[in-house]
Amino acid sequence: LREKLRNQEYLKQMSALRRFVESDLYLFVRKKNNTFLAQQILFMLAAGLSMIFATIVSFSFQQTYGNFTRPLFIALVVSYMFKDRIKDFLRYWFANKLGSKYYDYRTKLDMRGKYIGQGKEGFDFVNETRIPEEVKNLRMQGEEDPDSVPPESILLYRRRMILFGRRLSRLSRYAFPGVNEIIRINLKDFLRRMDNPHTGVPVFQKTGDFQEVQVERLYHLVFIVQFSYQGHIYYKRYRLEVNRRGLKQVREW
């Protein structure tokens, strides 16, 4: 029992020491939804526009055919059917427009309880027409036949960081050359949908027969990272080779 209590006290002290060290090495981050208010306003606007359509149809048929008539009943049913479809369409359209212009989340960066900056991030699937030409050219570099590359799913991740350098320098006794951000990419859902990691391929032998050889199946995930700072832009390219068993190799080219 005494040994167990000693181990527990050790872990407690170790955790306190780690938090003390992390106060200078790591920033405290608080994340919240950046588009919640705008999203709710646009959704209310979608509901209002669809209700205007249904009300106009109802009033028009009521004035033409009167109350409690069969045409009015049919018009009410059809108008409410269209109202729901219009509302869903406008919600989807507004959501896409909102996601392309605004960031999904906003993070507040604190150090020792002091506000020292903020970050914004957004994530969305995009069409190839929205990709800049320099990014397309970087993607196709190294391909033997760029025209034969099949259509790909393109995921856009945006991250914007704003740091207050003077506040940072006042909070630390050491020189502060910058902040390193660690971005973790979860590939679990991708791996789960992949095919078997090995497949049999028939290989012609000198004897004239075919022998099946097990070949490792790999999927390529291409990352093109754009860095922008004070008007300067440069790129990094990475290719991840993965299969269902996990990450096999990371190449920078």
The answer on 79 and 61 residing in a single domain is yes
Within this chain, do residues 42 and 62 fall inside the same structural domain, yes or no? yes
Q: Judge whether 151 lies within some domain.
A: yes
Do 120 and 135 share a domain, yes or no? yes
**Domains: count for the chain:** 3
| pLDDT for 223 | 92
pLDDT at 74: 84
Q: Which residue has the tokens 């009167």?
A: 66
**Residue 22 counted as domain residue:** no
Position 29 scores a pLDDT of: 79
| 81-107 per-position pLDDT tens digit | 888 888 888 877 776 666 656 777 888
For residue 161, the enclosing domain spans 103-174
For residue 16, tell me if it sits in a domain: no
The answer as to whether 157 is a domain residue is yes
Does this model's pTM top 0.85? no
* Exposure string for 69-106, b = 16+ CB within 10 A, e = fewer: eeebeebeeebbeebeebbeebbeebeeebbeeebeeb
Structure tokens of 232? 């300067």
Going from the C-alpha of 33 to that of each of 4, 23, 43, 105, 251, the distances in angstroms are 43, 25, 16, 5, 34
Would 21 be classed as within a structural domain? no
Task: Tell me, yes or no, whether 142 and 169 share the same domain.
Answer: yes
Name residues of the chain where pLDDT drops below 50: none
Query: Does 12 reside within a domain?
Result: no
Q: Is residue 6 part of a domain?
A: no
